[in-house]
Amino acid sequence: MKTIIAACSQNLSGSRASIQTALRTLLAVPWPSQRDVRSALQLLAVLQWVLSFLLLGTASLLLLIYLLFTSLWLVPVLYLAWIIFDWDTPEKGGRRLPCLRRWTVWKHFRDYFPVKLVKTHDLSPRRNYIIGSHPHGILCVGAFCNFITGSTGFEELFPGIRSFLTTLAGNFRLPVFREYLMSGGLCPVTRRAIGYLLSQKGTGNAVAIVIGGAAESLSCRPGVTTLVLKNRKGFVRMALRHGAFLVPSFSFGENDLFRQVVFEEGSWMRSIQRRFQKMMGFAPCLFYGRGLTSGRSRGFLPYSRPITTVVGEPVAVPKVENPSRELVDRYHELYIRALLKLFNENKTKYGLSESDELHIL
């Protein structure tokens, strides 16, 4: 009996020693610093945004199709009925949720790069505006962060102005993804949707359009600033029809977020990209960024490079219901001049050299 008690006492002493050793080891491990925690939160914020834009629509569609063949078939049926009932909402200003635009996650998203918004001139809330957003880049990070989230202070810099951002109309045909887009203030880049925002929702509306679109993303690479703008005049015609002032904006650093394999004009791969763009509305780009675990590895996340979006001086536009081609050309030229002025006055402030030029195709 004494032997058993002694053995138990020895085991208990050994257990206490083991626990104490484990606690000392645990306490000796350095806890993550506030900087490490912030970096992790910023990375997670960017990860959820990239995955949402790349996978949410497709994943939601596949999930609803799967549920049709299960006992939960009523869920996709009811949602389909809702989409049919709600079909025109994206064309009528969408359904923005101010609380989503103020999510804390967008502040971590902003700080990852970081993204900064710079105001050069006031915008009167008594007018409506079309903001040209340049360049497109790969995923339009600057445009999304500044015009959809409240993290960079757009509403504080431009009091009384409500910002919207347009994107491909096909995105609003994807279940669940359409709700996600509308909640932030995204609308289809269609004549009907833009016209509604500029005529049916009063004044103080600023509709941001990434004018270069998919064609411009094919030329996106660091050190090259090429815009597809010379023959893009539909936004000027819309501005004239509704008397909306034209406002140029440029996101310095947008093209530095990813590395892209750029195929030369005339190559067979470039031809495939062009054809796909015409059929689907977007261009298949071969690009890469950083990995999830290390900035030195390759992956699908953008590099943390600073983006500074500068909003320029408005170009006053009269209201002309049926503008002539000559009038459209004149205001298109005025817009290009304002954009070039904005670029040249700010390029050396935000990472470019005096010799860098803006190429407009």
Q: What is the pLDDT of residues 168-227, one digit of tens each?
A: 898 999 999 999 999 989 999 999 999 999 998 889 999 999 998 877 876 666 666 889
299: left (phi over 0), alpha (psi -120 to 50) or beta: beta
Report pLDDT for 17. Answer: 60
Lowest mean pLDDT among 120-134, 155-169, 212-226, 346-360: 212-226
- Assess whether the previous peptide bond of 32 is cis (omega < 30° from 0): no
Report pLDDT for 22. Answer: 61
Is pLDDT above 90 for 36? no
What does residue 264 show for φ and ψ, rounded to 5 degrees?
-65, 150
343: left (phi over 0), alpha (psi -120 to 50) or beta: alpha
Which residue matches tokens 């993290």? 151
The four Cα atoms 122, 314, 90, 159 give a dihedral, to 10 degrees, of 0
Report pLDDT for 262. Answer: 64
Of 334, 314, 332, the residue nearest 324 (C-alpha)? 332
Q: Coil, strand, or helix at residue 343? A: helix
Report pLDDT for 24. Answer: 64
Q: How far apart are CA 161 and CA 155, in angstroms?
A: 6
Which residue matches tokens 């925002």? 197
Of 210, 294, 281, 223, the residue nearest 253 (C-alpha)? 223
Report pLDDT for 31. Answer: 65
Looking at this protein, which amino acid is placed at residue 51?
A: L
* Residue 270 pLDDT grade (very low, low, confident, very high; cuts 50, 70, 90): low
Record the tokens describing residue 240, joined without a space.
């004239």
The long-range contacts involving 101-106, CB below 8 angstroms and separated by at least 24 positions, are 101/148, 101/149, 101/150, 101/184, 101/185, 102/150, 103/149, 105/45, 105/48, 106/45, 106/145, 106/149, 106/150, 106/151
Lowest mean pLDDT among 4-18, 83-97, 176-190, 211-225: 4-18
The continuous run of DSSP H or E covering 266 comes out as: none
Lowest mean pLDDT among 36-40, 200-204, 270-274: 270-274
Is pLDDT above 50 for 346? yes
Mean pLDDT of the chain: 87
What does residue 247 show for φ and ψ, rounded to 5 degrees?
-125, 115
Summarize the confidence of residues 279-291 as an average pLDDT: 70
Lowest mean pLDDT among 118-127, 258-267, 345-354: 258-267
Please indicate whether residue 33 or residue 307 has the higher confidence score (pLDDT). Answer: 307
Report pLDDT for 268. Answer: 59
Q: How far apart are CA 39 and CA 310, in angstroms?
A: 26
Q: How many C-alpha atoms does 187 have within 13 Å on its Cβ side?
A: 29
**Which of 105-109, 183-187, 356-360 tops mean pLDDT?**
105-109
Is pLDDT above 70 for 71? yes
- Assess whether the previous peptide bond of 125 is cis (omega < 30° from 0): no
Which residue matches tokens 């530095």? 256
Is pLDDT above 50 for 2? no
Lowest mean pLDDT among 63-67, 111-115, 278-282: 278-282
Q: How far apart are CA 238 and CA 240, in angstroms?
A: 5
Q: How far apart are CA 152 and CA 148, in angstroms?
A: 10
* Residue 47 pLDDT grade (very low, low, confident, very high; cuts 50, 70, 90): very high
Q: What is the pLDDT of residues 109-120, one digit of tens each?
A: 999 999 999 999
* Residue 296 pLDDT grade (very low, low, confident, very high; cuts 50, 70, 90): confident
Of 307, 309, 46, 304, the residue nearest 154 (C-alpha)? 309
